[in-house]
Structure 1
Amino acid sequence: MSTVTGVEGEERHDFTKAESRHIRQRSLRLLGSLLRPVRARLWLTMAIVIVSTGAQVAGPALIAYGIDRGLPALIDGDWMPVGFAGVAYLLTGAAGAFLIAWYIRLSARISQAVLLDLRTRVFLHTQKLSLEFHESYTSGRIISRQTSDLDAIRELLDEGINQLVRGALYMSFTGIALALLDWMSALVLVVALVPLVVLTRWFQTRSQRLFRRSRVASAKLIVHFVETMTGIRAVQAFRTEKRNEREFGDLVEDYRDINAKVIQLFGIYDPGLLLIGNACVAAVLVVGGFRVVDGQLAIGVLLAALLYTKRFFDPMEDMAMFYNGYQSAASALEKISGVLEEEPSVPDPIHPVDLWTARGRVRFEGVEFAYTPDRVVLPRFDLDVPAGQTIALVGSTGAGKSTLAKLIARFYDPSDGVVELDGVDLRRLHPKDLRRAIVMVTQEAYLFSGSVADNIALGKPDASFEEIVAAARAVGAHEFIESLPNGYDTDVNKRGGRVSAGQRQLISFARAFLADPAVLILDEATSSLDIPSERLVQEGLQSLLADRTAIIIAHRLSTVAIADRVLVMEHGRIVEDGSPAELIGGSGRFAKLHAAWRDSLV
């Protein structure tokens, strides 16, 4: 089984220490795997930023040299020291600007490469995850992983890392230069670091919790919006707009309150930084002034010390903003790494068995299935479906019909027992052979954006146009397709909104016919159709089911008439098994269902 519950737990923000440590380690592993392919460019970028920062930090020392050495020499008629200081200052400034521009270009390329890799990984991995994951993990949350979470990481890589690296190096180099220039001024700066560290630590501990809550609140907003828009028909049909407005308003208020608290934190942190920085500059000025008067310190050195002290605090605000982006990105990376850590509950076989030509015999041997240990859906049972037989599954809602069909399609694996195709355990069958041999058509009949021909070709991507048309003719879809504005090239629009429900179903039948599976599963394929549409689809079914094994799940007993064999299910068990005529002539569950259906037609 999948560990979906573990991922859902990450929407909480009250982790245990062990959970937090596991999440951090998982995120760091993901980050390391993303950076590994670009490590050569990373080292080059680091070298460039070190040299450029060194060039920038050299400025105040050159000014001190120009004042203390250049001005006395200039009075004596020697302009060389002043000229040297001026030219050196200009060259270091130009070199720093050029290297920073180079650094920005390199870091942008690295961030785009990392984002492309991560975005692709999330898409490919979520495609591979089993149906259980997608049924448990809402579409809104998946969209949030691909949008707001990746945007947070993009902002960190594009701007945040730049602020952190340059800021940290600039502060380090500035502190070293100040210590080399005047150790007493550096000592004043060290004393000022104590309240700076206390203030920063206070900010970090509080903002970490708030930023994680902010990410959760943002994700909830996206989920609510996506689910409301996706289910807009139900929203308008049941007039839930007001209730949705209240719920969305509560989510917006929660998100606003969290962001307000974040702003309050910055309202304390930023002025605190400014106060500490100004106090430190004032202390250096007072201490240095007395030393200049006593002749212990040159005035140029004092000026350079003041510039270094002031510049030391300049990156702090940018680094505080980096921490803002870092917390958002770290929280986003935690959630994305959680998705990428998910393992398919239906894994591909390690040593797959090939089945090039499937006949279509399906067999259940001692099969039991439970979604959770305390929720057994299918108690242990056996079933043998000969190749080419059409089976109709009938029963009340929740009887286990769709679960049985999903086991045949291997959307799930049985908790116990074996499901076989032509004597091969589905868990050992090569995935390509499995998907080629078994096809499921659901009542949703999902159509993707694109042409009608593209949607039919989904069953066989390399099919020629002639094969696509032949498949449409075989299921009775050719006539209505030809009547569309552009025939087979007509764009069906989002989710097939340009064609009716019956037409969408016929297109899905043509898709299945083109795939030519040995086993075809129809899961409530006609339940959403009106009577004229159903008759149109029934004609297509005759061609679709010929010469293949078919499993039909149907509430409408009109569909059951074309079956060779009917299985009546109740509470996960097969309670009746026989031909339609045999069961109708009996006194069991199916006979009662058929009589009630016949009476409803009168």
Structure 2
Amino acid sequence: MSVQGVQGEDRTDYTKAESKAIRARSRRLLGSLLKPHVGRVVVTLLFVVIAAAANIAGPLLIAYGIDVGLPAIMEQGDWMPLWVATLVYIVAAIAAGVLMYLYTVGIARISQTVLYELRRRLFAHAQRLSLEFHESYTSGRIIARQTSDLESIRDLLDQGLNELVRGVLIMGFTAGAMTLLDPLSGAIIGIALIPAIILTRWFQVRSTVLFRETRTTSARMIVHFVETMTGIRAVKAFRKEAANQREFDERVDDYRDANYRTINIFGIYEPGIMMIGAVTIATLVIVGGLRVVEGSMQIGALLGVALYARNFFQPIQGIGMFFNGYQSASAALEKISGVLEEEPTVKEPVQPKALPASRGQIDFDAVRFAYGNGKVVLPDFDLHIPSGQTIALVGTTGAGKSTLAKLVSRFYDPTEGAVKLDGVDLRELANDDLRRAVVMVTQEAYLFSGTVADNIALGKPGASDEEIEAAARAVGAHGFIEALPDGYATDVNKRGGRVSAGQRQLLSFARAFLADPRVLILDEATASLDIPSERLVQEGLTTLLADRTAIIIAHRLSTVAIADRVLVMEHGRIIEDGSPAELIEQGGKFASLHRAWRESLV
């Protein structure tokens, strides 16, 4: 399934074939989650079946006590029938309570186990998916899958399913007991059930459409909120508050209107069921009363029928509420299953090859690349980078520099041709081997929750304090780290507001250098650094890039000075190739860029 297919699941205008395929996919997912718990589900259902049967025995025992127990006392002085009815009633009530408790606890454990597995599976799969997915599927949507969508499924499993199972069993047992007590009353209930079924079916069909619309409008509202809060600096910098507020108001209005339409159908359904139930009970009482007068029906049986009729229609409303949760959870499960069926576009090989012992030779062999079905970025690209060489990529925005770096990191695979590391096609390397061999540092330095030391140690899990400090010293980060309140033990989550963008970048450098990769890629990695910090980093780079292949992408030509070789790119092609001094002497594109940079410093 494509990323575009997953994104398209926010639509509401599915064809019949699409809807059928989505429902089948959701059923497969639910089946895979429930399959390990089939035995527990069967036992739990036995508890609720027996509990419902015991609960339904009450009116039947009351009728027996009135129609048999009381006459036996008045005519024969025999208290045994009444005592038997009373004792059985008490035992049945206790049994129903205990079994219902076991059912409630059992179904809760199953639902929580299923939700645990689904949450875990969704998180693991989202991490496994390729960069292409995450660049296309917005963060707001993936957050909605893990939060509101999973909460909808939790509500269904914990409450809605309980209402359905209990409701169906109570209605079935009630109809059976009522027919056993008085066949005519059972027939009347059966007739009354017809309009109730028609109304419930109408509600089910209508709610299917409306709840999908509710989920879609809710997701769009969450996406806009998350994107606004994530980009709050840009919002404030460009004074987008008013425009964002208007757009958010529109999305909230859509969500409110969808909920209004949903409430309206509940306003028809619930009173309709209540009206059918009231008319049915009135009919049973009138018909039963006339039969009691005629002597064809006993008073205890009439009371039992009235109690059963009242109990019979109560679960229908609960079943209606189940459709509320079911439609919401069904739409959520469709979206989650869509994400889980998404396949990584960059796949790990079935039989990976081992990396040879060399130090990071890179080759582009007849590489052609385009993002999705878009414009070709690298039309026909060949490049050889010897191991241990530091190259700098320069050129205008859109020249293909970052694309080249993403291909070396294997965030994407080439459309045609091959990218090789030490003679091995990257598509033939295990992901773990590749990630150890190639590390990229981008302009967007991200710090995770934890201490400064924890964040640096991400480059080498289990690194000693001495190794962490040595990496920080190498990139010039030790000084500012020591100045923090707790030094390397400072919690960056709590202190994040006092760590500058340049300092975060230095920490990401230390993290990358500690990893000791064969190939180090710096993609605009010094853009957030001030001049003094950049000089410190360059001093560290001179030492740390020794005997290691490095690719530096930078608009600041000061960073380019440490490169052995400069590649000037334009429209996905290399138009100049040589050392910085050679290219300046030639007076070409790089020379003009270098001259403009020097003038900007003045």
Question: How far is the alpha carbon of 1:587 from its aligned partner?
Answer: 3.0
Question: How far is the alpha carbon of 1:374 from its aligned partner?
Answer: 4.2
Q: Secondary structure at the match of 1:384?
A: strand
* Alignment-derived partner of residue 327 in structure 2: 327
Over 3 Å counting, the alpha-carbon distance change for 1:242 and 1:351 in structure 2 is same
Question: How far is the alpha carbon of 1:201 from its aligned partner?
Answer: 1.2
Matched, 1:40 2:39: yes
- 1:470-512 per-position Cα deviation (integer Å, ceiling 9, x unaligned): 2112222222212211111111126943322222222111111
- Give distance in 2, aligned partners of 1:476 and 1:360: 25
* Alignment-derived partner of residue 63 in structure 1: 62
Whether contact under 8 Å (2:505, 2:528) holds in the other structure is no
Which sits farther off after the overlay, 51-60 or 221-230? 221-230
Q: Give the root-mean-square deviation of aligned CA atoms.
A: 1.3
- 1:279-333 per-position Cα deviation (integer Å, ceiling 9, x unaligned): 1112222222233333322222222122212211011111111111111111111
Which sits farther off after the overlay, 355-364 or 55-64? 355-364
- Give distance in 1, aligned partners of 2:530 and 2:505: 12
* Alignment-derived partner of residue 473 in structure 2: 473
* Paired AA for residue 365 in structure 1: D
* Alignment-derived partner of residue 514 in structure 2: 514
Q: How does 1:138-217 map to 2 (within 5 A)?
A: 138-217=138-217
- Give distance in 2, aligned partners of 1:230 and 1:125: 23
Q: Secondary structure at the match of 2:522?
A: strand
* Alignment-derived partner of residue 297 in structure 1: 297
- Give distance in 2, aligned partners of 1:539 and 1:422: 28
* Alignment-derived partner of residue 129 in structure 2: 129
- Give distance in 1, aligned partners of 2:223 and 2:240: 17
Q: How does 1:16-95 map to 2 (within 5 A)?
A: 16-75=15-74, 76-95=76-95
Q: Secondary structure at the match of 2:288?
A: helix
Whether contact under 8 Å (1:449, 1:496) holds in the other structure is no
* Alignment-derived partner of residue 437 in structure 2: 437
* Alignment-derived partner of residue 446 in structure 2: 446
Q: Secondary structure at the match of 2:217?
A: helix
* Alignment-derived partner of residue 378 in structure 1: 378
Structure 2: 5+ residue stretches without partners? none
Q: Secondary structure at the match of 1:379?
A: strand
Whether contact under 8 Å (1:442, 1:524) holds in the other structure is yes
- Give distance in 1, aligned partners of 2:450 and 2:358: 31
- Give distance in 2, aligned partners of 1:586 and 1:165: 82
Matched, 1:533 2:523: no
Q: Percent identity?
A: 66
* Alignment-derived partner of residue 558 in structure 1: 558
Question: How far is the alpha carbon of 1:140 from its aligned partner?
Answer: 0.9
Structure 1: 5+ residue stretches without partners? none
Question: How far is the alpha carbon of 1:260 from its aligned partner?
Answer: 1.1
* Paired AA for residue 534 in structure 1: E
Whether contact under 8 Å (1:449, 1:495) holds in the other structure is no
Over 3 Å counting, the alpha-carbon distance change for 1:258 and 1:143 in structure 2 is same
- Give distance in 1, aligned partners of 2:498 and 2:528: 17
- Give distance in 2, aligned partners of 1:358 and 1:464: 27
Which sits farther off after the overlay, 98-107 or 367-376? 367-376
* Paired AA for residue 28 in structure 2: R
- 1:539-598 per-position Cα deviation (integer Å, ceiling 9, x unaligned): 222233121000000111111111111111111111111111111111321111112112
Whether contact under 8 Å (2:145, 2:335) holds in the other structure is yes
Question: How far is the alpha carbon of 1:163 from its aligned partner?
Answer: 0.6
Question: How far is the alpha carbon of 1:357 from its aligned partner?
Answer: 3.7
Question: How far is the alpha carbon of 1:263 from its aligned partner?
Answer: 1.1
Which sits farther off after the overlay, 534-543 or 328-337? 534-543
* Paired AA for residue 14 in structure 2: F
Q: Secondary structure at the match of 1:168?
A: helix
Moved over 6 A (4+): none
Q: Secondary structure at the match of 1:354?
A: coil
Matched, 1:314 2:297: no
Q: Secondary structure at the match of 1:72?
A: helix
- Give distance in 1, aligned partners of 2:529 and 2:479: 19
Question: How far is the alpha carbon of 1:538 from its aligned partner?
Answer: 1.8
* Alignment-derived partner of residue 10 in structure 2: 11
Q: Secondary structure at the match of 2:492?
A: coil
* Paired AA for residue 379 in structure 1: P
Q: How does 1:559-578 map to 2 (within 5 A)?
A: 559-578=559-578
Normalising by structure 1, we get a TM-score of 0.98
- 1:399-432 per-position Cα deviation (integer Å, ceiling 9, x unaligned): 1110110000000000110110001010001211
Q: Secondary structure at the match of 1:459?
A: coil
* Alignment-derived partner of residue 458 in structure 1: 458
Q: How does 1:269-284 map to 2 (within 5 A)?
A: 269-284=269-284
Question: How far is the alpha carbon of 1:50 from its aligned partner?
Answer: 0.3
Q: How does 1:345-424 map to 2 (within 5 A)?
A: 345-355=345-355, 357-424=357-424
Question: How far is the alpha carbon of 1:356 from its aligned partner?
Answer: 6.3
Question: How far is the alpha carbon of 1:218 from its aligned partner?
Answer: 1.2
Q: Secondary structure at the match of 1:497?
A: helix
Q: Secondary structure at the match of 1:493?
A: helix
Whether contact under 8 Å (1:356, 1:433) holds in the other structure is no
- Give distance in 2, aligned partners of 1:400 and 1:183: 82
Normalising by structure 2, we get a TM-score of 0.98
- 1:196-216 per-position Cα deviation (integer Å, ceiling 9, x unaligned): 111111111111111111111
- Give distance in 2, aligned partners of 1:313 and 1:414: 63
Question: How far is the alpha carbon of 1:178 from its aligned partner?
Answer: 1.5
